[in-house]
Chains A and B, each alone.
Chain A
Protein backbone atom coordinates (compact mmCIF):
# COMPACT_ATOMS: atom_id res chain seq x y z
CA UNK A 1 0.00 0.00 0.00
CA UNK A 2 0.86 3.73 0.04
CA UNK A 3 1.56 4.23 -3.65
CA UNK A 4 2.11 7.72 -5.02
CA UNK A 5 2.04 8.33 -8.75
CA UNK A 6 3.59 11.36 -10.39
CA UNK A 7 3.04 12.44 -13.98
CA UNK A 8 4.73 13.22 -16.28
CA UNK A 9 8.05 11.57 -15.47
CA UNK A 10 9.96 13.74 -17.92
CA UNK A 11 9.05 16.92 -19.76
CA UNK A 12 10.99 19.16 -22.10
CA UNK A 13 9.54 22.50 -23.09
CA UNK A 14 10.44 25.91 -24.40
CA UNK A 15 11.25 28.87 -22.21
CA UNK A 16 8.17 30.89 -21.32
CA UNK A 17 5.69 28.05 -21.29
CA UNK A 18 3.85 26.74 -18.22
CA UNK A 19 4.15 23.14 -17.10
CA UNK A 20 1.75 21.22 -14.88
CA UNK A 21 2.86 18.22 -12.80
CA UNK A 22 0.34 15.88 -11.18
CA UNK A 23 0.74 13.93 -7.95
CA UNK A 24 -1.79 11.26 -7.02
CA UNK A 25 -2.09 8.99 -4.00
CA UNK A 26 -3.43 5.79 -5.55
CA UNK A 27 -4.48 3.68 -2.58
CA UNK A 28 -4.89 6.11 0.31
CA UNK A 29 -6.31 9.53 1.07
CA UNK A 30 -3.62 12.11 1.61
CA UNK A 31 -4.47 14.91 3.97
CA UNK A 32 -1.16 16.55 3.19
CA UNK A 33 1.06 16.56 0.12
CA UNK A 34 4.51 18.04 -0.23
CA UNK A 35 6.49 19.31 -3.20
CA UNK A 36 10.26 19.09 -3.31
CA UNK A 37 12.96 20.12 -5.71
CA UNK A 38 16.26 18.28 -6.07
CA UNK A 39 19.38 19.36 -7.93
CA UNK A 40 22.00 16.80 -9.04
CA UNK A 41 23.92 15.24 -6.14
CA UNK A 42 22.00 17.31 -3.62
CA UNK A 43 19.31 16.44 -1.13
CA UNK A 44 15.63 17.25 -1.35
CA UNK A 45 14.61 20.85 -0.80
CA UNK A 46 11.05 21.35 0.41
CA UNK A 47 9.20 23.89 -1.70
CA UNK A 48 5.72 23.83 -0.22
CA UNK A 49 3.25 21.94 1.95
CA UNK A 50 -0.24 21.45 0.60
CA UNK A 51 -3.34 20.55 2.62
CA UNK A 52 -6.52 19.50 0.86
CA UNK A 53 -8.92 22.38 0.39
CA UNK A 54 -6.61 25.11 1.64
CA UNK A 55 -3.82 27.28 0.29
CA UNK A 56 -0.34 25.84 0.16
CA UNK A 57 2.32 26.95 2.60
CA UNK A 58 5.51 27.90 0.78
CA UNK A 59 9.01 27.69 2.18
CA UNK A 60 11.09 30.83 2.43
CA UNK A 61 12.53 31.88 -0.91
CA UNK A 62 10.02 29.94 -3.03
CA UNK A 63 7.95 32.19 -5.29
CA UNK A 64 4.28 31.32 -4.87
CA UNK A 65 3.33 33.07 -8.11
CA UNK A 66 5.93 31.06 -9.96
CA UNK A 67 5.07 27.68 -8.50
CA UNK A 68 1.30 27.33 -8.28
CA UNK A 69 0.02 24.48 -6.13
CA UNK A 70 -3.51 23.15 -6.11
CA UNK A 71 -4.73 20.40 -3.79
CA UNK A 72 -8.34 20.00 -4.86
CA UNK A 73 -8.97 16.50 -3.52
CA UNK A 74 -7.59 14.02 -1.03
CA UNK A 75 -5.84 12.12 -3.81
CA UNK A 76 -4.58 14.81 -6.17
CA UNK A 77 -2.22 17.76 -5.96
CA UNK A 78 -0.77 19.68 -8.89
CA UNK A 79 2.27 21.89 -9.26
CA UNK A 80 2.31 24.36 -12.13
CA UNK A 81 5.58 26.02 -13.04
CA UNK A 82 4.50 29.24 -14.71
CA UNK A 83 6.52 30.98 -17.43
CA UNK A 84 9.31 28.46 -16.98
CA UNK A 85 12.91 29.43 -17.68
CA UNK A 86 16.10 27.34 -17.95
CA UNK A 87 16.95 27.97 -14.29
CA UNK A 88 13.72 26.15 -13.37
CA UNK A 89 15.11 22.96 -14.86
CA UNK A 90 15.32 20.43 -12.05
CA UNK A 91 13.93 17.21 -10.60
CA UNK A 92 10.59 17.83 -8.91
CA UNK A 93 9.26 15.24 -6.47
CA UNK A 94 5.97 15.06 -4.60
CA UNK A 95 5.09 13.12 -1.49
CA UNK A 96 1.89 12.36 0.35
CA UNK A 97 0.97 11.23 3.84
CA UNK A 98 -2.21 9.96 5.47
CA UNK A 99 -2.00 12.10 8.57
CA UNK A 100 0.21 14.06 10.91
CA UNK A 101 3.24 12.07 12.09
CA UNK A 102 2.63 9.47 9.39
CA UNK A 103 5.51 8.74 7.00
CA UNK A 104 5.67 10.52 3.68
CA UNK A 105 5.47 8.37 0.55
CA UNK A 106 7.12 9.71 -2.56
CA UNK A 107 6.35 9.70 -6.23
CA UNK A 108 9.05 8.87 -8.75
CA UNK A 109 9.71 12.49 -9.64
CA UNK A 110 9.43 14.63 -12.74
CA UNK A 111 12.50 15.67 -14.65
CA UNK A 112 11.85 19.14 -16.07
CA UNK A 113 14.09 20.54 -18.77
CA UNK A 114 13.48 24.05 -20.06
CA UNK A 115 15.19 24.92 -23.33
Chain B
Protein backbone atom coordinates (compact mmCIF):
# COMPACT_ATOMS: atom_id res chain seq x y z
CA UNK B 1 0.00 0.00 0.00
CA UNK B 2 1.32 3.42 -0.95
CA UNK B 3 1.69 5.96 1.85
CA UNK B 4 -0.39 8.49 -0.07
CA UNK B 5 -3.11 7.51 -2.53
CA UNK B 6 -4.59 9.90 -5.04
CA UNK B 7 -6.81 9.25 -8.06
CA UNK B 8 -4.70 10.22 -11.11
CA UNK B 9 -7.73 11.30 -13.15
CA UNK B 10 -8.02 12.97 -15.55
CA UNK B 11 -10.98 14.79 -14.07
CA UNK B 12 -12.87 16.94 -16.56
CA UNK B 13 -15.39 19.54 -15.38
CA UNK B 14 -17.17 22.49 -17.00
CA UNK B 15 -16.20 26.04 -16.12
CA UNK B 16 -17.92 27.23 -12.94
CA UNK B 17 -18.25 23.76 -11.41
CA UNK B 18 -17.20 22.87 -7.88
CA UNK B 19 -14.27 20.49 -7.95
CA UNK B 20 -13.49 17.96 -5.24
CA UNK B 21 -10.01 16.45 -5.13
CA UNK B 22 -9.21 13.76 -2.59
CA UNK B 23 -6.32 11.96 -1.00
CA UNK B 24 -5.91 9.20 1.58
CA UNK B 25 -2.80 8.44 3.59
CA UNK B 26 -1.68 5.64 5.85
CA UNK B 27 0.96 7.19 8.10
CA UNK B 28 -0.64 8.48 11.30
CA UNK B 29 2.57 10.40 12.08
CA UNK B 30 1.82 12.97 9.40
CA UNK B 31 1.24 16.30 11.10
CA UNK B 32 0.80 18.84 8.32
CA UNK B 33 -0.84 18.74 4.96
CA UNK B 34 -0.11 20.62 1.77
CA UNK B 35 -1.80 20.95 -1.58
CA UNK B 36 0.28 21.96 -4.56
CA UNK B 37 -0.73 22.85 -8.10
CA UNK B 38 1.62 21.96 -10.93
CA UNK B 39 1.30 23.22 -14.47
CA UNK B 40 2.98 21.30 -17.26
CA UNK B 41 6.77 21.74 -17.29
CA UNK B 42 6.72 23.89 -14.15
CA UNK B 43 7.52 23.36 -10.49
CA UNK B 44 4.71 22.82 -7.97
CA UNK B 45 3.08 25.91 -6.51
CA UNK B 46 1.87 25.88 -2.90
CA UNK B 47 -1.90 26.32 -2.68
CA UNK B 48 -2.87 25.33 0.85
CA UNK B 49 -1.05 24.42 4.03
CA UNK B 50 -2.71 23.21 7.20
CA UNK B 51 -1.74 21.54 10.45
CA UNK B 52 -4.96 20.38 11.96
CA UNK B 53 -8.17 18.57 11.22
CA UNK B 54 -10.94 20.78 9.94
CA UNK B 55 -11.37 23.26 7.14
CA UNK B 56 -9.15 26.05 5.86
CA UNK B 57 -10.38 28.47 3.25
CA UNK B 58 -8.40 30.75 0.93
CA UNK B 59 -10.37 32.46 -1.80
CA UNK B 60 -11.91 29.83 -4.07
CA UNK B 61 -9.97 27.04 -2.39
CA UNK B 62 -10.93 25.06 0.72
CA UNK B 63 -8.74 22.37 2.23
CA UNK B 64 -10.32 19.80 4.50
CA UNK B 65 -8.43 17.39 6.74
CA UNK B 66 -9.87 14.47 8.68
CA UNK B 67 -7.04 12.91 10.65
CA UNK B 68 -9.27 10.24 12.19
CA UNK B 69 -9.99 8.73 8.78
CA UNK B 70 -6.69 9.87 7.20
CA UNK B 71 -8.53 11.65 4.44
CA UNK B 72 -7.77 15.05 2.93
CA UNK B 73 -9.67 17.04 0.33
CA UNK B 74 -9.31 20.16 -1.74
CA UNK B 75 -12.41 21.95 -3.02
CA UNK B 76 -12.27 24.51 -5.81
CA UNK B 77 -15.29 26.75 -6.24
CA UNK B 78 -16.22 28.48 -9.49
CA UNK B 79 -13.54 26.55 -11.38
CA UNK B 80 -11.79 28.35 -14.23
CA UNK B 81 -9.91 27.07 -17.29
CA UNK B 82 -6.76 28.45 -15.65
CA UNK B 83 -7.27 25.89 -12.87
CA UNK B 84 -6.45 23.13 -15.36
CA UNK B 85 -3.34 21.53 -13.89
CA UNK B 86 -2.19 18.60 -11.81
CA UNK B 87 -3.00 18.82 -8.10
CA UNK B 88 -0.66 17.11 -5.68
CA UNK B 89 -1.46 16.34 -2.08
CA UNK B 90 1.57 16.17 0.19
CA UNK B 91 1.32 15.29 3.85
CA UNK B 92 4.44 15.56 5.95
CA UNK B 93 5.95 15.74 9.38
CA UNK B 94 6.78 13.16 11.97
CA UNK B 95 10.31 11.87 12.36
CA UNK B 96 11.19 12.19 8.67
CA UNK B 97 10.15 15.84 8.42
CA UNK B 98 9.78 15.62 4.67
CA UNK B 99 6.81 15.58 2.32
CA UNK B 100 5.33 12.48 0.76
CA UNK B 101 3.64 13.26 -2.53
CA UNK B 102 0.62 11.62 -4.02
CA UNK B 103 0.70 10.79 -7.72
CA UNK B 104 -1.38 13.89 -8.47
CA UNK B 105 -4.83 14.35 -10.02
CA UNK B 106 -4.96 15.92 -13.44
CA UNK B 107 -7.82 18.43 -13.69
CA UNK B 108 -9.22 19.81 -16.92
CA UNK B 109 -11.71 22.68 -16.74
CA UNK B 110 -13.51 23.14 -20.03
CA UNK B 111 -15.27 26.20 -21.43
The residue that A43 contacts in the complex, of B41, B42, B88, B92, with Cβ under 8 A, is B88
The answer for the CA separation of A34 and B101 in the assembled complex, in Å, is 13
Interfacial residues of chain B within 24-70, with CB under 8 A of chain A in the complex: 31-32, 34, 36, 41-46, 49, 51
Interfacial residues of chain B within 54-111, with CB under 8 A of chain A in the complex: 88, 92-93, 97-99, 101-104
Total residues of chain A contacting the partner, CB 8 A: 22
Q: Is the CB of B44 within 8 A of A100?
A: no
Q: Is the CB of A108 within 8 A of B43?
A: yes
The answer for the CA separation of A19 and B42 in the assembled complex, in Å, is 20
The residue that B45 contacts in the complex, of A44, A106, A111, with Cβ under 8 A, is A106
Total residues of chain B contacting the partner, CB 8 A: 22
Determine the main DSSP class of B at the interface with A. loop
Give the number of A-B contacts (CB < 8 Å).
46
Chain A residues whose CB sits within 8 angstroms of the CB of B92 once the complex forms: 101
What is the distance, in angstroms, from A110's C-beta to the closest C-beta of chain B? 10
Q: Is the CB of A93 within 8 A of B101?
A: no
What is the distance, in angstroms, from A11's C-beta to the closest C-beta of chain B? 14
Which residues of B line the A interface, CB within 8 A? 31-32, 34, 36, 41-46, 49, 51, 88, 92-93, 97-99, 101-104
